[in-house]
Amino acid sequence: MPKTATDVIKMAKEVEMVDLRFTDLLGIWHHFSIPREELSEDLFEDGIGFDGSSIRGFQEIHESDMILIPDPETAFLDPVLQVPTMDMICDIYDPVTRQPYSRDARYVAKKAEAYLKQTGIADTSYWGPELEFFMFNEVRYGGSTNSQFYSVDSVEGWWNSGSQAGHNPGGQIPPKRGYFPVPPMDQLQDVRSKIVLALLKTGVPVEVHHHEVATAGQTEIDLRYGTLTRMGDTVMTYKYVCKNVARQNGLTATFMPKPLFEDNGSGMHVHQSLWKGSTNVFYDEAGYAQISELARYYIGGLLKHAPAVLALTSPTTNSYRRLVPGFEAPVNLAYSSRNRSACVRIPMYSKRPKAKRLEFRPPDPSANPYLAFAAMLMAGLDGIQNRLDPGDPMDKDLYDLPPEEAALVKQVPGSLAEVLNALEADHEFLLRGDVFTPDVIEHYIDYKRRNEFDQVRIRPHPHEFTLYFDV
């Protein structure tokens, strides 16, 4: 049942503090807190100010004043803080024009939902991301002029199978053997259950949790599907709860896509469908894998624009340590039913019309969910509007094709630089309906190039010493 400002003020009587949260351009939550007594209905109209120049990707120093207006429907009781606290997600506004801020990713998501309705293709899109992550016992990293290093450790890590540091009961998980083992091999069952219980307290519906394929604490907790903007809110809440419950249990959670060498990385496979009223427009009993012609065109849009979309769905240099052939990485620009080696999979678990959906597999959990979901929707809608035929499905193992067949299957780009170049060249489809603006795209590309890609490119890689030190 939707909450109003009045409902939230009544709800706040249970707490001491009210925490106001917003997302930066890169997908990181920021916050500040006010005493419960400061919460009033005026806050939901007037907002509260903050310094936009101190947030990555936002304002310059001469135009730093911004305001936050909380969305009462997002209020929930914080399940991890010791001081009773109510959290709310806020929208960002310009204090002078009182207009929504163009670089507010949540605003982009809202505009994507509005544009979908304007097209007449559907009324609602549903999103079901599967976020994988690791929980480690230890992590160390750093760098300077003469040193670059990282080290992670886990009691489940296969490298500890021969450890003589204290008691070693064995049972560590071998590489790529972490899918569904029971305890004691799976040592994170209780921690995952605690995360699920905390998520349920926030109102986030959870369907299942389990250990994932990789050694050393790879985890998946699946969320029930939801509408685009609300699922963006849910992902932000999910990551917050996972990190805090892990920390409370002596672990550290990371959504970095590829923290381990020679084992599976963490993806964010995204299930998606379009609905008009009570009808799933992706379903057609007579179609391939029971998908409609409209769904095929949506796939055509995803495949055509995938290099540009990946700049928003797989947005880090580390993303492309995961998106390489092998390790179940979805690098092939093809679609298929059941086949996890294709970029687009059509799940076949159920024949019910309401269950029919597409799964786009290249994204990872380092993405800003609001921008990632909006970009995928806009690519799919472009495919529908332009009747982009995705070609024939590829119902075979794409990793084991003969060379002459493999050469015909395009693959996703192999670096952040390539996908940023693709986004720069191919973003007109994102500008429709003013969903993304040139300002957002230009600023995003510039930030990623200068502060991420270039900063990784200019540093020596530790393995280069193995390769080249004695040349």
> Active-site residue among 212, 222, 364, 382?
212
418 is catalytic: no
38 is catalytic: no
Distance CA 126, CA 356 (A): 11
262 is catalytic: no
Residue among 62, 35, 58 at smallest CA distance from 48 = 35
> Active-site residue among 271, 357, 361, 427?
361
Bridge partners (DSSP) of residue 275 are: 124, 280
Q: Judge contact between 19 and 244, C-beta under 8 A.
A: no
Distance CA 235, CA 230 (A): 9
Distance CA 67, CA 75 (A): 18
Residue among 74, 67, 85 at smallest CA distance from 18 = 85
In total, the chain counts a number of residues equal to 471
Burial environment of residue 308 by CB neighbours within 10 A (0 to 12, 13 to 18, 19 or more): buried
Residue among 278, 279, 310, 283 at smallest CA distance from 294 = 283
> Active-site residue among 340, 432, 443, 449?
340
- Buried residues in 146-174 as b, exposed as e (16+ CB within 10 A): eeeeeebbbbbbbebeeeeeeeeeeebbe
269 is catalytic: yes
SS (H, E, C) 18-85: EEEEEECCCCCEEEEEEEHHHCCCCHHHHCEEEEHHHCCCCCCHHHCEEEEEECHHHCEECCCCCCCE
Bridge partners (DSSP) of residue 222 are: 208
Half-sphere exposure of 307 (CA within 13 A, CB side): 17
> Active-site residue among 24, 104, 130, 156?
130
> Active-site residue among 87, 113, 132, 233?
132
Residue type present at position 469: F
Helix (H, G, I), strand (E, B) or coil at 11: helix
Phi, psi of 45, rounded to the nearest 5 degrees: -105, -50
Residue among 282, 324, 303, 262 at smallest CA distance from 390 = 303
Residue among 257, 264, 267, 251 at smallest CA distance from 174 = 264
> Active-site residue among 19, 220, 233, 364?
220
Distance CA 436, CA 257 (A): 25
Residue among 265, 277, 291, 89 at smallest CA distance from 176 = 265
> Active-site residue among 269, 296, 305, 322?
269
> Active-site residue among 19, 78, 263, 359?
359
DSSP output for 161-203: TT--SS-----PPPTT--SSPPTTTS--HHHHHHHHHHHHHHT
130 is catalytic: yes
Q: Which residues, in sequence order, are CB contacts of 278 under 8 Å at separation 6+?
A: none
> Active-site residue among 38, 51, 138, 397?
51
Active-site positions read: 51, 130, 132, 212, 220, 269, 340, 359, 361
